């Protein structure tokens, strides 16, 4: 049974020429946090063309931070259902179908990530009562929700390891934002970064035990990779010079940064500042071939590389 669990997602990745052809991201006019409404866009890797996937549903809010399951279900941050909630829909070539609320919980919800077998969703939940953000896990229907973390601090941006047994997430429980690793079943938590910098926006390769993340440890925001134990740290983008005026997670716009691996594990897409606005970049997982794939006066952010 365990073998079959892995055969299906790997088979889906290997089928068809379009399996690695699309990057879904959000775009809002001008600089970030100016009140413009983000739309969901699609970048086609073959044609190098960008098109509209979904028009932002609530003015000055829109949709951002998607994750797509192997079965073609998309989850996204949305204000459509009253406050920030997770919306789920069927992903079609030219839009979203059957867009609906994912859970029935009262707190704000953000930054969902599908397990690699498409049966569970990990996400963060903000409690207005105690101003606390924790990580939760739900099944594919938004039910049977369990709380994974309980730190009385900000635990955010969760992502599954490739075997769906552990969660990588960002937390400031040590005083600054680090990458932590926690088992889904157990209680052990490991700090993977242990650095005084701001480490954020983690994502995991679908096919190997690698984590990608962003950090300002060099003075600029660079893309790094490392193993699940924190070893073999590599700076993939030493040539980038973009900086961030860090004044807190939300005020600095860290919520809009995201990394995502290609389905074959060979490349990573991410966003960072280029000039006065956010743009998308792709780089090979060995640090070669850095390419900027958007260039405009808009803010392009939260990219997700999908095989659907």
Per the structure, the complete domain to which residue 26 belongs is given by 2-306
> pLDDT tens track of the chain, all 308 residues?
444 444 444 444 444 334 458 999 999 999 998 999 999 999 999 999 999 999 999 999 999 999 999 999 999 999 999 999 999 999 998 899 999 999 999 999 999 999 999 999 999 999 998 999 999 999 999 999 999 999 989 999 999 999 999 999 999 998 999 999 999 998 999 999 999 999 999 999 999 999 999 999 999 999 999 999 999 999 999 999 998 887 888 888 999 999 999 999 999 999 999 988 999 999 999 999 999 999 999 999 999 999 99
Q: Give φ, ψ of 210 to 5 degrees.
A: -125, 145
φ, ψ for residue 255, nearest 5 deg:
-60, -20
Predicted local confidence at residue 276, as pLDDT: 87
Q: How far is CA 220 from CA 115, 155, 249, in A?
A: 31, 23, 16
- CATH number, domain at 96? 2.120.10.30
- Of the chain, the end-to-end C-alpha distance in Å amounts to 25
Gap between the Cα atoms of 290 and 110, Å rounded: 29
Judge whether 265 and 13 are in contact, CB under 8 Å: no
How many Cα atoms within 13 Å fall on the side-chain side of residue 21?
12
Domain count, the chain: 1
User: How confident is the model at residue 245, as a pLDDT?
Assistant: 80
C-alpha distance from residue 28 to each of 15, 36, 57, 90 (Å): 33, 6, 13, 23
Both structure tokens of 279: 């743009």
Q: How far apart are CA 172 and CA 155, in angstroms?
A: 7
Strand order in the sheet with 120-127: 108-114, 120-127, 132-139, 146-147
pLDDT at 152: 86
Kindly give the pairing relationship between strand 199-204 and strand 210-215.
Answer: antiparallel
Are residues 169 and 156 in contact, defined by beta-carbon separation less than 8 angstroms?
yes
Distance CA(304)–CA(308), nearest Å, equals: 11
List the one residue out of 171, 166, 141 whose CA is nearest residue 154: 171
SS3 assignment for 210-235:
EEEEEECCCCCCEEEEEECCCCCCEE
Q: In the prediction, which pLDDT does 4 show? A: 44
Q: Which of 107, 161, 96 is nearest to 133 (CA)?
A: 107
User: How is residue 142 written in tokens?
Assistant: 């938004």
The pTM of this model reads 0.93
């Amino acid at each position: 049974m365990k073998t079959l669990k892995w055969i299906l997602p790997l088979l889906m990745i290997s089928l068809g020429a379009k399996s690695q052809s699309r990057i879904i991201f959000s775009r809002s006019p001008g600089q970030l946090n100016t009140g413009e409404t983000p739309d969901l866009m699609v970048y086609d890797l073959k044609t190098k063309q960008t098109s509209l996937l979904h028009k932002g549903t609530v003015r000055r809010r829109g949709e951002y931070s998607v994750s797509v399951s192997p079965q073609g279900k998309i989850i996204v941050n949305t204000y459509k259902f009253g406050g920030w909630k997770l919306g789920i829909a069927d992903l079609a070539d030219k839009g979203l179908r059957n867009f609906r609320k994912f859970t029935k919980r009262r707190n704000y919800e953000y930054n969902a990530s599908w397990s690699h077998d498409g049966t569970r969703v990990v996400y963060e939940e903000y409690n207005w009562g105690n101003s606390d953000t924790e990580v939760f896990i739900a099944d594919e229907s938004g039910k049977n929700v369990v709380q994974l973390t309980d730190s009385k601090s900000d635990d955010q941006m969760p992502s599954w390891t490739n075997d769906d047994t552990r969660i990588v997430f960002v937390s400031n429980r040590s005083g600054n934002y680090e990458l932590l690793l926690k088992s889904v079943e157990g209680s052990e938590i490991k700090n993977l970064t242990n650095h005084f910098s701001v480490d954020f926006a983690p994502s995991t390769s679908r096919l190997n035990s690698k984590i990608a993340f962003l950090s300002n440890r060099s003075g600029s925001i660079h893309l790094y990779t490392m193993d699940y134990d924190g070893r073999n740290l590599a700076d993939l983008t030493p040539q980038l010079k973009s900086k961030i005026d860090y004044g807190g997670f939300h005020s600095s716009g860290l919520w809009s940064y995201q990394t995502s691996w290609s389905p074959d594990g060979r490349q990573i897409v991410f966003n960072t500042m280029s000039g006065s606005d956010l743009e998308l970049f792709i780089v090979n997982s060995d640090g070669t071939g850095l390419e900027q794939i958007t260039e405009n006066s808009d803010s392009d952010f939260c990219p997700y590389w999908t095989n659907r």
